[in-house]
């Protein structure tokens, strides 16, 4: 079989169809709907399940399974009683740039809604991971991430009270924490360690973000340090898998 000339470099090779050609019926329908999505464009209204079932001569449950996958992948979204073509995913850089910068770069308006801001003695596990001292006072700030007023993630930040003693008084919760550290306190980020994994949101997290519990999430763990190498923050951020992709620029390492 020749390599298809119209194969997009980021798409599954040969549209993910195995060479022997035996594919699940729903996947064939999904491939047809994916082409329809391209024709309709962002915001385009998809035909009803019944119409799609008649068009492709399959059962409605087959169409439903195809639509479920396209919804989970972020290619479609529910709107009222209908289903429409979703816009492109938000690209978040894997860098020390803040969430605010990443969203603004794409012409969207970033925002955050404060869920809680608590102060407590640093537990052993957090102390060991973030380079803090067990028992020292730490802040925990939990915020829902917004893009154009759409809830797209959930962020938990842990930081020593000694570094930001007046976080509860002089920080605006819907603004950038990085900007606050830099502009208000003169603290600059030096480096960070990040780990990414795929998880399902807990019922509480799904409720806060406004998504079904079965929606895959991208979970990023970050431990940051300032320019002097001192621990700064430990962040746990959930991003909606259907609304985000991540980018990174990789350079050549001389010894690699």
Please name the residues in contact with 24: beta carbons below 8 A apart, sequence gap of 6 or more.
none
Spell out where 94-168 has E strands: 110-121, 137-147, 150-160
Is the pLDDT at 39 greater than 70? The verdict is yes
Task: Tell me the per-residue pLDDT of 124-179, one tens digit each, with 9 for 90 and over.
Answer: 988 988 889 999 999 999 999 998 888 999 999 999 999 999 999 999 999 889 88
Q: Report H helices in 142-189.
A: 167-170, 177-179, 185
Q: What is the pLDDT of residue 118?
A: 92
Q: What is the pLDDT of residue 253?
A: 62
Per the document, the length of the chain is 256
Half-sphere exposure of 17 (CA within 13 A, CB side): 18
More confident residue, 96 or 204: 204
Q: Identify which of 63, 126, 36, 90 has the alpha carbon closest to the alpha carbon of residue 247.
A: 90
Is the pLDDT at 88 greater than 70? The verdict is yes
Q: State the residue for tokens 């991208």.
A: 218
Task: Tell me the per-residue pLDDT of 239-251, one tens digit each, with 9 for 90 and over.
Answer: 988 887 777 777 7
Both tokens of residue 240? 């909606």
**Average pLDDT of span 77-94:** 81
**DSSP code string of 68-108:** HHHHHTTSEEEETTEEEE--PPEEEESSSS-HHHHHHTTT-
Q: What is the pLDDT of residue 80?
A: 85
Average pLDDT over all residues of the chain: 84
> Residue 1 — pLDDT band, cuts 50, 70, 90?
very low
């Amino acid at each position: 079989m020749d390599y298809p000339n119209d194969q997009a470099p980021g798409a599954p090779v040969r549209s993910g169809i195995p060479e022997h050609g035996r594919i699940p019926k729903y996947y064939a329908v999904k491939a047809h709907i994916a082409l329809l999505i391209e024709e309709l464009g962002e915001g385009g209204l998809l035909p009803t399940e019944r119409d799609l079932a008649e068009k492709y001569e399959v059962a409605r449950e087959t169409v439903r399974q195809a639509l479920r996958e396209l919804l989970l992948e972020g290619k479609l979204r529910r709107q009222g009683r209908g289903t429409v073509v979703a816009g492109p995913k938000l690209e978040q850089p894997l860098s020390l740039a803040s969430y605010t910068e990443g969203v603004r770069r794409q012409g969207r308006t970033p925002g955050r809604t404060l869920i809680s801001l608590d102060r407590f003695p640093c537990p052993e596990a957090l102390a060991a991971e973030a380079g803090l001292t067990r028992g020292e006072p730490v802040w925990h700030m939990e915020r829902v991430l917004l893009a154009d007023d759409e809830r797209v993630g959930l962020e938990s930040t842990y930081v020593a009270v000694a570094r930001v003693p007046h976080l509860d008084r002089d920080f605006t919760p819907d603004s950038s924490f990085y900007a606050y550290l830099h502009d208000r306190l003169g603290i600059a980020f030096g480096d960070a360690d990040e780990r990414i994994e795929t998880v399902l949101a807990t019922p509480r997290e799904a409720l806060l973000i406004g998504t079904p519990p079965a929606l895959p999430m991208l979970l990023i763990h970050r431990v940051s340090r300032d320019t002097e190498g001192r621990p700064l923050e430990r962040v746990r951020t959930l991003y909606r898998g259907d609304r985000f992709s991540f980018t990174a620029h990789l350079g050549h390492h001389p010894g690699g």
